[in-house]
Amino acid sequence: MTDISVIGLGAMGSALARAQLKVGRSVTVWNRTPEKAAALVSEGAIAATTVSEALSASPVTITCVKSHPQTIELLTNAANALPSKTIIELSTGGAEEAENLARLLENAGAKWVLGIINAYPHMIGDGETVLSVVGTDEQWETLGPIIKAMGGSSVHVGDQAGMLAALFAGLFTVRQGFMWGMIYGALAAKKAGIPMQTFSDLVPISMGMMKPYYDYFAATAPQATYDDPPATMRTYAAALEDVLASFEALGARDELPRLFVEMAQKGMDEGLEDKALTAVIDVLADKH
């Protein structure tokens, strides 16, 4: 028996296996293309010839393949080895696929933890690397050392399999909001005849407000503490309307700033003009 098995030895899966070897755990590995196991075997891992053999070799198995459906296929074909085992699934997929995987494992008598890796392979094992995982509190307590060997700042975010897809969507939307903000900002600048280089050079200065924006969000949204904000929804709404007016005057496409105005107006319509802008989260959630 080994301490842990790793199924899937691409760049990420190999990094995950090495992180476990580095902290002294014995590791069994399997990959559809056996040659990919050679380097890890030279570093001390044991190669399994089948998925069932890899599952049987350890009480805990990390799966890191293309997607949840691929994991489901592999584990369905090796279901005889699943009872009493624990799977840490680090492949990607949507909420429904995650729930299907969790159901498969539960029906087979296995336990599960699902995670998102917020890092590139070369960052695995670092103290600041984060894996966001879902599973029971008991599983998090038991498997925490294994997970934190791969990402020292890993966090437990809930116990429902479908939560991770929503978390990814939410965090990706934050990043894409910034990207699309730059794109629409560049559009306005271009329409006004401002050189793109000038606009690009000034973006980092505007980014200086990112931390205060986050602090505003963190001080209001988590506990729904929307009273007495440093800037009210009314203040934001007025500024957003000015921005939209500028886009309209330039004849620039204005879908993004118009969305901002419309969302703020929903909060204003609910009588929240003196609350924090983040109060609109609850309004939008109720309007679903």
pLDDT tens, residue by residue, 4-61:
999 999 999 999 999 999 999 999 999 999 999 999 999 999 999 999 999 999 999 9
Domain endpoint, select from 161, 193, 227: 161
Strands 130-134 and 111-118: antiparallel
pLDDT at 288 over 60: no
Distance separating alpha carbons of residues 15 and 88, to the nearest angstrom:
15
Domain endpoint, select from 161, 194, 211: 161
Q: Is the pTM of this model over 0.85?
A: no
Q: What is the DSSP string of 24-51?
A: T--EEEE-SSGGGGHHHHHTT-EE-SSH
State whether 9 and 143 are in the same domain.
yes
The arithmetic mean of pLDDT across residues 96-122, rounded, is 95
Lowest mean pLDDT among 26-30, 86-90, 161-165: 161-165
For residue 187, what are the domain limits? 166-287
Output the six-digit token pair for 3. Answer: 């301490």
Output the six-digit token pair for 229. Answer: 């904000």
pLDDT in tens, 179-209: 999 999 999 999 999 999 999 999 999 999 8
State whether 17 and 102 are in the same domain.
yes
Q: How many domains does the chain have?
A: 2
Q: What is the pLDDT of residue 278?
A: 97
State whether 27 and 139 are in the same domain.
yes
DSSP 3-state assignment of 6? strand
pLDDT at 154 over 60: yes
Report the DSSP beta bridge partners of residue 111: 86
Q: What is the CA radius of gyration of the chain?
A: 24
Q: Are 7 and 51 in contact (CB under 8 A)?
A: yes
State whether 12 and 108 are in the same domain.
yes
Q: The CATH number of the domain where 40 resides is what? A: 3.40.50.720
Q: What is the pLDDT of residue 118?
A: 87
State whether 184 and 257 are in the same domain.
yes
State whether 140 and 194 are in the same domain.
no
Mean pLDDT of the chain, nearest integer: 96
